[in-house]
């Protein structure tokens, strides 16, 4: 099981410090929320920030593209040093192609579903993707309340991958993850847990990260 701190809640003026902090505390991925002000109302950062972070950390750079037409930026993120790009099915009519392009660029590829989007819409890419990201809040902002109805999607995905030998994806959850919700997500079958405000808005982010790790340890088959 993997913990992916989201730098959306980090101190942007001290990003390198905040990244090293979670790396030293045992984070597995670094979750980079890319927002364009169109697909979601908020604006954050793009490939240049990923390029700036690459020499700072060995963590997997898990870039969540909340942008319209992500297919236009895949090369830029690959050159910047991203490891994994997750693409919203709602962000482009050509998401299948965008996922193919991500794999061709040598990166891992993921598909994301918003809370209102049924899994049926993304099943065609299940054989292609390394990760399925289930949004457990509406995308765009940190610090929102976890949506428990999304657990049914996590459970369904876990069943599907256990009964189809063509599916090899991890299940990632993102939004409202804290010491309690992480347990319900792990019990439902999730493997990768994004947490922003729970980690970075605490007085001791390293302790919060350790709490998350402890709380999923019993669900970890390895
Ligand atoms: O994708 C996101 C928002 O679109 C964030 O990664 C997510 O919401 C994490 O923030 P928090 O843990 O504070 O809920």
Tell me the average pLDDT across 176-204. Answer: 98
* Nearest atom within ligand 1 for CA of residue 143: 13
Considering the domain boundaries, does residue 198 fall inside one?
A: yes
Question: Which of 29, 42, 65, 194, when mutated, tests ligand 1's pocket best, judged by the most ligand atoms within 8 Å of its CB?
Answer: 194
Considering the domain boundaries, does residue 222 fall inside one?
A: no
Mean pLDDT in the chain?
Answer: 97
Domain that holds residue 199: 2-217
Question: Which of 174, 200, 202, when mutated, tests ligand 1's pocket best, judged by the most ligand atoms within 8 Å of its CB?
Answer: 174
Report how far apart, in Å, the C-alpha atoms of 25 and of each of 19, 66, 68, 69, 211 are.
Answer: 10, 27, 34, 35, 11
pLDDT at 222: 56
The pLDDT of residue 221 is above 70: no
Kindly give the distance from the C-alpha atom of residue 198 to the centroid of ligand 1, in angstroms, as a whole number.
10
ipTM: 0.96
pLDDT at 31: 98
> What's the number of domains the chain is made of?
1
Please name which of 147, 85, 84, 161 lies closest in space to residue 119, comparing C-alpha atoms: 161
Q: What band does 218 get if pLDDT is binned at 50, 70 and 90? A: confident
* Nearest atom within ligand 1 for CA of residue 138: 4
CATH number, domain containing residue 186: 3.20.20.70
Considering the domain boundaries, does residue 114 fall inside one?
A: yes
- What residues contact residue 129 under an 8 Å CB cut-off, 6+ apart? 99, 109, 110, 111, 169
CA 164 to chain centre: 23
Kindly give the distance from the C-alpha atom of residue 143 to the centroid of ligand 1, in angstroms, as a whole number.
7
**Contact, 62 vs 4, CB < 8 A?**
yes
The pLDDT of residue 160 is above 90: yes
* Nearest atom within ligand 1 for CA of residue 42: 4
Give the pTM.
0.96
Question: For tokens 């657990």, what's the residue?
Answer: 151
pLDDT tens digits, one per residue of 20-48? 999 999 999 999 999 999 999 999 999 99
Per DSSP, the three-state class of 35 is strand
Q: Which residues pair with 34 in a beta bridge?
A: 65
Q: Say if residue 149 is exposed, middle or buried (CB neighbours under 10 Å; 0-12, 13-18, 19+).
A: exposed
Rg of the chain on CA atoms, in Å: 16
- Which parts are annotated binding residues for a divalent metal cation? 31, 33, 64, 174
pLDDT at 220: 79
């Amino acid at each position: 099981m993997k913990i992916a701190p989201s730098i959306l809640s980090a101190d942007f003026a001290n990003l390198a410090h905040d990244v090293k902090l979670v790396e030293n505390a045992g984070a597995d991925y670094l979750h980079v929320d890319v927002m364009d002000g169109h697909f979601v109302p908020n604006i954050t950062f793009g490939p240049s920030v990923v390029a700036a972070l690459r020499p700072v950390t060995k963590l997997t750079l898990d870039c969540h593209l909340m942008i319209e037409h992500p297919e236009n930026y895949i090369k830029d993120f690959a050159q910047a040093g991203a490891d994994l790009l997750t693409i919203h099915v709602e962000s482009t009519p050509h998401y299948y192609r965008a996922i193919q392009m991500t794999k061709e660029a040598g990166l891992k590829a993921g598909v994301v579903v918003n809370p209102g989007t049924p899994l049926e819409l993304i099943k065609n890419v299940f054989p292609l993707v390394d990760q399925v990201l289930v949004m457990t809040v509406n995308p765009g902002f940190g610090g929102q309340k976890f949506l428990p109805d999304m657990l049914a999607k996590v459970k369904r995905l876990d069943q599907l991958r256990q009964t189809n030998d063509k599916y090899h994806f991890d299940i990632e959850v993102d939004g409202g993850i804290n010491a309690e919700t992480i347990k319900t997500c792990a019990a439902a079958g999730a493997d990768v847990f994004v947490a922003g405000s729970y980690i970075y808005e605490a007085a001791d982010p390293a302790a919060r990260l350790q709490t998350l790790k402890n709380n999923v340890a019993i669900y970890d088959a390895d």
